[in-house]
Amino acid sequence: MRVDVVHNVLKLNDALAGGIRARLRAAGVFCPNLISSPGSGKTTLLEQTLQHFAQEWRQAVVVGDLATSLDAERLAPFAQTVQINTDGGCHLDAAMVSNALEHFDLDEFDVLYIENVGNLVCPVGYDLGHDTKIGLLSVTEGEDKIVKYPRLWREADLVLLTKADLLPHVPFRLERFMDDLRQLNGTVEVIHVSSTSGEGLDAWFEWLRARRATQSATPAT
């Protein structure tokens, strides 16, 4: 009985997510979903990214947190931003994103970034209608988070190893990280980035640009 309930909730979510994806595609909006633990650098990277593409793309953000509008306040100077408060929920779901989209005229945007609730577990299973799932791991979290939380890394289209500037200062085993990641996801691209030093940001911007171009070439379904 309980299994049926969970199953139905996910089915409803997937149906809503499919509708969101169709709307985004029809409007030509590319949608990356950023997933990581709290504090691994999602908002800081978005601050950099929004500024980098300011002249090139019309950008918007939906950001999820349990409480406060702190992240939206950080991002609002650079893009139209909607904060979702999940009131205890550990992830965004398609209904929340669908409600947030009421605040946007999608025809006015090229890219909609979703910053998911900080969590390596719950957000992974929820389709939000996004085009690509990006997993971030900061070097301060430890390389063991790859094997301990495998699903995100298995499903990610890109892994960003963040806070790369701190690598010399923490006992992060890079080789182990790569070996474990390759076991889960043999082909996933990995970019070392630092929002502080700027390392890897160009590679990240290029990845986004290329991915968006691929998406735009895919006909809406």
- Phi then psi for residue 68, to 5 deg, are 75, 165
The residue (of 49 and 132) whose beta carbon lies closer to ligand GDP is 49
- Per-residue x/- track, 198-217, ligand GDP (CB under 6 A): --------------------
The residue (of 39 and 89) whose beta carbon lies closer to ligand GDP is 39
- Phi then psi for residue 49, to 5 deg, are -70, -45
Taking CB under 6 A as the criterion, the residue among 15, 26, 38, 183 binding ligand GDP is 38
CA distance 50 to 205: 10
Q: Cα 206 to chain center, whole Å?
A: 16
Report CA dihedral (139, 140, 142, 147) to the nearest 10 degrees: -70
Q: Does 194 bind ligand GDP (CB under 6 A)?
A: yes
Tokens 């504090």 sit at which residue?
39
Least separation in angstroms between residue 39's CB and ligand GDP is 4
Q: Does 48 bind ligand GDP (CB under 6 A)?
A: no
- Per-residue x/- track, 123-162, ligand GDP (CB under 6 A): ---------------------------------------x
Q: Cα 87 to chain center, whole Å?
A: 20
